[in-house]
Amino acid sequence: MQFFKSSIGRKILMAITGQCMVLFAVIHLLGNSSIFGWLPGGINAYAHHLHSLPAPIIIGFRLGLLLFVVVHICYGIQLTIENRGGRPQQYAVKSVQKATFASENMIWTGVLLMAFILYHLAHFTFQIINPETAALKNMVPGLDNHVVPNVLGMVLSAFQNIGVTLIYAGAMLILFLHLSHGIQSFFQTMGWSSDKTQPFITKAGTLAALALFLGYAAVPLTILVHILK
Amino acid sequence: MSDHKTMTLTLIVWRQKNANDPGKFETYSAKNITEHHSFLEMLDCVNEDLILAGKEPIVFDHDCREGICGMCSQVVNGAPHGGQDRTTVCQLHMRKFKDGDTIYIEPWRARAFPIIKDLIVDRTALDTIIQAGGYTSCHTGGVPDGNAILIPKPIAEEATDAAECIGCGACVAGCPNGAAMLFTGAKVSQLALLPQGKAEAVARVKNMTKAMMECGFGNCTNHYECQAACPKGINVKFIARMNREFLKAQFA
């Protein structure tokens, strides 16, 4: 279909899949925040509840996310290669008026995020990086006399290591860079911005990216400095 | 005029014999330049010296020298048209420079704009985009009364803002991806906003963006360098409007 080959069509697909992943990041952060104790039973209860959902919902959700990631990456790489070819010879003097470090390096922040996501999945989802603290192997008593995986223990032991904490906090800084351009870009590509709304959208997008960064980085950093025990 | 202090500048200019020549920078000295010289007049002076010395003058595009025709096309110190807000390079004046400055002068650089010679590039690709739909082909009949087609003033003004585009290609030159989204966005918006253009809006946005891709322009990554480079201050809201038109066209 022409849409999937067109310049704007592929960008719209990148924008939508990107924004869906931002929504996932928001939900993920809300789940993470249960570690601070607002949910009875904390993050262990949250994780147990999540995994008690019907299998089709979990599998569907994961397949959906995988689809977003694959589409976003494939078009991202394809469009970047095309764009690099759009100006084969660079100017002798580089003069930047409006582009930012974030906007110019979307492909690299994207590659780093993908590497982090693979590490994160191996670490906390498949739990193969530190098997001795894996939540699924260390069951603890939860609410209502259920025995639940010890997610809290796994997370606490992981972030007492300064190296691991720095990897996570650094990755979230990369996420901030990626989204500080990505969120406002979504509205422009979808055609939902005008000269009146664009300055607001740009600021709000950066603030939203900052909020995600602070929210995500709070967990490893508070554990590292022993505020969260 | 003779009382004015003069400047001597070092120019580092891109010289290229033709599209197949790899091209290289050459250094020239621009002497006796006053602050009243326009950038192109400064180049005229350098060219006179070159001609008198029996050398090939620097070839560059120009026509009206009033900032309205869109012919002049030079990247000065990395900025299309020299980087002065809403100014074509012909309206850039030497008072913006100091005695002893070194100035890099390059042609528009984009895959879709092959270099013809020195600073002249082939901008046929922009015409190709226009030919793909930048017009109305409906029969308009005789001249209608002035008030026969009612257009609200804000719409008329927005269409005129888009129509300010002089098609110089600075947006392409400024874009790191060599994309023509601001140019195409302005042309699509200008017509889509007005009743005469609405009739063919669906086919227009599809055909013009298709031609844009086929001409070898890159894709938009929302850096907004195009808006900064545009001598007419065309706003990137017209890219958003084109994106909207494109999305709408998928359901039409």
Task: Work out the mean pLDDT of chain A and round it to a whole number.
Answer: 95
Domain parsing of chain B, residue ranges: 7-106, 124-137+148-250
Distance CA B156, CA A5 (A): 33
Task: List, for residues A39-72, the tens digit of each pLDDT value.
Answer: 999 999 999 999 999 999 999 999 999 999 999 9
> Does some domain include residue A38?
yes
Q: Least CB-CB distance to B106: which of A7, A91, A97?
A: A91
Name the DSSP class of A143: G
A56 contacts chain B (CB < 8 A): no
**What is the SS3 assignment for B180?**
coil
Q: Exposure pattern of A106-115 as b/e (b: 16+ CB <10 Å)?
A: bbebbebbee
pLDDT at B118: 98
Distance CA B210, CA B246 (A): 11
Name the DSSP class of B144: P
pLDDT at B2: 53
Q: Least CB-CB distance to A83: which of B177, B228, B250?
A: B177
Task: List, for residues A105-117, the tens digit of each pLDDT value.
Answer: 999 999 999 999 9
Distance CA B143, CA B169 (A): 33
A58 with A65: CB under 8 angstroms? no
Task: List, for residues B171-184, the tens digit of each pLDDT value.
Answer: 999 999 999 999 99
Of A106, A183, A57, A41, nearest to B221 by C-alpha is A106
Distance CA B92, CA B94 (A): 7
ipTM of the complex as predicted: 0.94
- Tokens (6 digits) for B131: 């030919």
Distance CA A16, CA B20 (A): 42
Task: CATH number of the domain at A110, please.
Answer: 1.20.1300.10
Strands B120-121, B7-15: parallel, antiparallel or unpaired by DSSP? Answer: unpaired
Residue A105 Cα distances to A8, A51, A184, B221, angstroms:
20, 36, 15, 11
- Per CB-CB distance under 8 Å, the chain B contacts of A90 are 109
CB count in 10 Å sphere of residue A136: 14
Domain that holds residue A80: 2-85+100-224
Query: How many contacts, defined by CB atoms under 8 Å, are there between A and B?
Result: 146
* Optimal mutation site among B111, B183, B222, interface A, most CBs of chain A within 10 A: B222
- Per CB-CB distance under 8 Å, the chain B contacts of A79 are 219, 221
Distance CA B38, CA B90 (A): 6
Q: How many domains does chain A contain in total? A: 1
- Tokens (6 digits) for A116: 């982090």
* Alpha-helical regions (H) of B86-236: 124-131, 153-163, 170-174, 181-192, 195-198, 201-214, 225-229
> Does some domain include residue A79?
yes
Q: In the predicted model, is pLDDT for residue B213 greater than 70? A: yes
CB contact set of B249 (below 8 Å; sequence gap of 6+):
B201, B202, B205, B206
| pTM listed for this prediction | 0.95
**What is the SS3 assignment for B121?**
strand
The CATH H-level superfamily of B7-106 is Beta-grasp domain (3.10.20.30)
pLDDT at A30: 97
Of B229, B20, B12, B179, nearest to B114 by C-alpha is B20
* Optimal mutation site among A5, A84, A91, A103, interface B, most CBs of chain B within 10 A: A91
pLDDT at B17: 97
The CATH H-level superfamily of B124-137+148-250 is Alpha-helical ferredoxin (1.10.1060.10)
pLDDT at B140: 65
Mean pLDDT of B74-78: 98
CB contact set of A173 (below 8 Å; sequence gap of 6+):
A213, A217
pLDDT at A158: 96
Mean pLDDT of A124-129: 94
Q: In the predicted model, is pLDDT for residue B4 greater than 90? A: no
> Does some domain include residue A93?
no
B179 - beta bridge partners? B218
Q: Least CB-CB distance to A86: which of B77, B111, B209?
A: B111
CB contact set of B61 (below 8 Å; sequence gap of 6+):
B71, B72, B73, B119, B120, B121
In sign, the C-alpha dihedral spanning B206, B209, B214, B215 is positive
pLDDT at B3: 60
> Does some domain include residue A95?
no
Task: List, for residues B125-134, the tens digit of each pLDDT value.
Answer: 999 999 999 9
Distance CA B176, CA B224 (A): 10
To the nearest 5 percent, what fractions of chain A are helix, strand and coil?
75, 5, 20
B contact residues 163-192, partner A, Cβ 8 Å cutoff: 174-179, 181
Q: Exposure pattern of A29-42 as b/e (b: 16+ CB <10 Å)?
A: beebbbbeeebebb
Given an 8 Å threshold on Cβ–Cβ distance, is A98 in contact with B112?
no
* Residue B135, min C-alpha distance to chain A (Å): 21
